[in-house]
Structure 1
Amino acid sequence: MTAAVALTALTGCGGEADGGPLAALGLPKADDIAGIEKVINKGGTCRELEAGGIGPDAAKSLKEPSFGVKETATCKDEKGKFATLLLLSDMKTFQEANKKALESDPGFDTGYLVGQNFAVVPGSDDGAKGIKAAGLFMMSCNPKHKDRIPSGYKVNEELVKGCFVTDYLPS
């Protein structure tokens, strides 16, 4: 269940009437950065929260308006590595921008842990496992990532063709 949680979180936004495909996967939703922090702390560690930052493992382009990021923050995981928290205006917009960035730059990392309306760039593998345990799913727009998902895991591609969320998190 922990792997499924990480991927579902990434594709958070969907139709307003039914909560969308990410809500159907059981992904958490947050109203603000404090809400994201609370979700992460259910399975992982988010301490020394600071508003407005982008951690060293997150692409600086995430601050561009095309990604639909409303607010950013950083916090440290249990090993002191920075995680970047992204509150999104719309998950579909976020996925579309990531897909476009990957098409322009094949090295662009489109892997995030997501909820219904937020994404997290973990600072370490251990941090990623804890965040996933908080109920997030992994999101990616890289077809190589999708090809590596073993059978039996959930894969949802309802928002943007070529992007997906999954409960599988490679170890």
Structure 2
Amino acid sequence: MTSNDPTNTTEPTDSTNTPAVTGERAEWLETLAKHRHFLRFTARDLTDEQAGLRTTASELCIGGLIKHVTGVEKSWVDFILNGPATMPDFTSMTEADWADRAEGFRMLPGETLAGVLADYEEVARRTDQLVAALPDLDVTWPLPKAPWFEGDAQWSARRVLMHIVTETAQHSGHADIIRESMDGAQSMA
């Protein structure tokens, strides 16, 4: 019998008979699953329109936050696999490039909450498979060029996972505030 529950450490994580995930990797998967749950739970029972509402002074909406976290996680997993060439050179981005990136924080016409959540689930599945299968969490790459990174800084796969967890947790809190402002519902209380 197999399980698709990434926090289950007694059975394979997928149908390819991958060995059980234990130790540090199981802890990463459990922590990611917990914070992903809070973010997804914040979107419970929302319509597509509600998922795109800005209910605070910020530009953020719940659907846009889920899109952003999805993109961040996908980009950083690509970085773990292939290094900084998979990411833009943030130091040479134009205003138009930054405007395009800002679209990742909004629900755009034609996007649905179900679609955003499905994309997030697919990215999460890919990340979980990588955590389970990566031969070494110490694999390290130089960071992409960005004004917020030191020029010669490097991150290990482990450090990248820490960043993904931090982003997910931070934006889960943002989503909780947006949802509470919308209808009083709380996700993390």
TM superposition score normalised by structure 2: 0.25
Q: Which has the higher contact order (CA 8 A, sep 6+)?
A: 1
TM superposition score normalised by structure 1: 0.27
Q: Which has the larger radius of gyration?
A: 2
